[in-house]
Amino acid sequence: TAKPGNAPQQSQSRIKGAESFLRNVLASMEAVYLNRNPSAKAILELVRSVDNDKICYDHLAFRTFGTDGHGIDSLANFFLDFGYTRQEELSFPAKKLKAFWFSPPANSDAAYDGDGVHGPLPRVFISELLVDLMSPQTQDIIRKYTESSHKGKKHAALASALGSLTWEKPSHSEFVQLARESEYAAWSLVNGYAVNHVTISIHRLKSHLRNIKNLNEFIEENGYKLNSEGGVLKVSPDGLLLQSSTLADSVSFEFSDGITTTVPCSYIEFAERLVLPQFKHLPETEVKEQHRRDGFEVGNADKIFESTSKQQQTGKA
């Protein structure tokens, strides 16, 4: 049903080719994440098991080192090439981090019936460590590894989809030095471009879990700990973006000096986006994603970052 002057059929099918490649890449990133994070995998299955529900991803999140082309852009380029649009910057001066979020391209109609990476395309949240603001020792360690990756920064999405670091493994003492100064830096050194978390879109569930308070209770009843930094439920100042997250799983990691310890891996997040005031009058069946609160919130994100931190993991409340 091409209107005059609109893209003809042929370019429509080119778009579909790109979309299916994008989804295959997302599926590989997700597979790496599910293999490494048994709690996240089990939680996705649990949520699906209630009323045989489907999962929509609200967003996928990644961390990077903001130095010499290894930062946000290294991964963003892939998403921009496949139709994503860069949105607002978020800044976290105390953590020496910044982030951008990216909105997805328009979906093909089939997406609305799909599950997970085959459903509506997720937003993407990519942050970077402001490496120049770290201590000289920490900067030296980070640059030693980013430089050793040579042109790896051009292939960040591939590294994420493969679950491979683009640099060699660090020594245990280097990991500890980074962790002392920035949990984020230490996490990134051993996890690289791997998915940091996927986020379940809570309001798009069908079961009673479509309310984030019910969801949080359900997760805790099933024996999983939620990140309690600043309270379990994170609420944006406008009251319309509600988020919570689990604590990251740990994996055994063999450092280059032969020492093996557990290191934090990834977590899973939950987000409920409420209907914007100007669309309050719409009947529930007509409410679409574009009628809901979009974007991210610095105050929420600042606390969600703690989902991979040791203090949270060892149960400091």
**Site residues, ligand OOG (CB under 6 A):** 61, 63, 125, 127, 196, 243, 269, 296, 300-301, 304-305, 307
What is the helix (H) or strand (E) element at residue 74, kind and residue range? helix 72-81
Which option in Ni ion, ligand OOG, none does residue 306 bind, with CB closer than 5 to 8 A by kind? Answer: none
Rounded Cα gap, residues 176 and 189, in angstroms = 11
Q: Please choose, from the candidates 263, 271, 220, 227, the residue with its C-alpha nearest in 3D space to the C-alpha of residue 43.
A: 220
State how far the Cα of 317 lies from the Cα of 315, in Å rounded to an integer: 6
Chain-centroid distance, C-alpha 95: 18
Closest CA to 262 of 271, 270, 251: 251
Residue 29 Cβ vs Ni ion, minimum distance, rounded to whole Å: 15
Q: How many CB atoms lie under 10 A from the CB of residue 168? A: 10
123 interacts with, out of ligand OOG, Ni ion, none, CB within 5 to 8 A per kind: none
Distance CA 300, CA 51 (A): 30
Q: Hey, CA dihedral for 144, 145, 146, 147, is it positive or negative?
A: positive
Query: Which residues of this protein are in contact with Ni ion, per CB under 5 A?
Result: 61, 199, 269
Residue whose CB is less far from ligand OOG, 126 or 161: 126
Nearer to ligand OOG, 182 or 307 (CB): 307
Residue closer to ligand OOG (CB basis): 157 or 304: 304
Q: Which one, 255 or 305, has the nearer CB to ligand OOG?
A: 305
Structure-block tokens of residue 241 = 């973006």
Degrees to nearest 5, angle at CA 119 with 117 and 283: 150
The residue nearest ligand OOG at its CB is 301
In whole angstroms, what is the distance from residue 178 CA to residue 187 CA? Answer: 9
Which residue, chain included where needed, has tokens 């309050």?
280
Map residue 12 onto helix, strand or coil: helix
Nearer to ligand OOG, 19 or 205 (CB): 205
Nearest distance, CB of residue 291 and ligand OOG, angstroms: 20
| Cβ 245 to ligand OOG shortest distance, Å | 7
- What is the sign, positive or negative, of the torsion defined by CA atoms of 265, 143, 81, 21? negative
Minimum gap (Å) between residue 31 Cβ and ligand OOG: 20
Q: Which does 65 bind (CB under 5 to 8 A by kind): ligand OOG, Ni ion, none?
A: none
**Rg for the chain (alpha carbons), in Å?**
20
Tell me how far, at minimum, the Cβ of 198 lies from Ni ion, in Å: 9
188 binds, among Ni ion, ligand OOG, none (CB under 5 to 8 A by kind): none
296 binds, among ligand OOG, Ni ion, none (CB under 5 to 8 A by kind): ligand OOG
- Of the candidates 275, 205, 272, 274, which has an alpha carbon nearest to the alpha carbon of residue 245? 272
Smallest distance, Å, CB 13 to ligand OOG? 34
266 binds, among ligand OOG, Ni ion, none (CB under 5 to 8 A by kind): none
Q: Which one, 145 or 187, has the nearer CB to ligand OOG?
A: 187
Minimum CB distance to ligand OOG smaller for 172 or for 219: 219
Q: Which one of ligand OOG, Ni ion, none interacts with residue 149, CB within 5 to 8 A by kind?
A: none
- Shortest Å, Cβ 295 to ligand OOG: 10
Shortest distance in whole angstroms from residue 267 CB to ligand OOG: 8
Closer of 196 and 313 to Ni ion (Cβ): 196
280 vs 20: CA distance, rounded Å: 35
